[in-house]
Amino acid sequence: MNVTPGAPSVPMRVLHNEARDAMLIGYTDGDPLREVIRFEMDPRRDLEVNLEEVFEVFNEPGPQLVGLEVVRRYRAERHRSLSKGDVLFYGEVAYAVAAAGFVRVYPTRESITFR
């Protein structure tokens, strides 16, 4: 989340799943997704670590993360917490929040509303 200027970075996009039952059953192909925020991540870190950190900061960020500019922006826009079925794009690869961890998914461009 805190990428040093000039360091390698990869774009991260957070998309809320707007299907009525997504929080119960998770992501399903064709679910409508709305991009809510984008920022840069450090690709030298483990992918799972990056995904878990994004999930943590957009749910209940601990004191060490609540001061991050991206968290302040997310909260200022009054977005809900991340939930099962929401999607994280790490570069061009998408992962849905699952009951435990993340699962690779393949949303279509037509299902996404961009910022």
pLDDT in tens, 47-58: 999 999 899 888
Per-residue pLDDT, 75? 84
Instruction: Look up residue 21 and give its two tokens.
Output: 């039952």
The mean of the pLDDT values for the chain is 89
Least confident range of 6-15, 84-93, 100-109: 6-15
Per-residue pLDDT, 8? 85
Give the start-to-end residue ranges of the domains of the chain: 10-113
> Which of the pair, 109 or 115, is modelled with greater confidence?
109
pTM of the predicted model, to two decimals? 0.88
Q: What average pLDDT score do residues 80-92 get?
A: 95
Confidence band, pLDDT 50/70/90 cuts, at residue 66 = low
Confidence band, pLDDT 50/70/90 cuts, at residue 64 = low
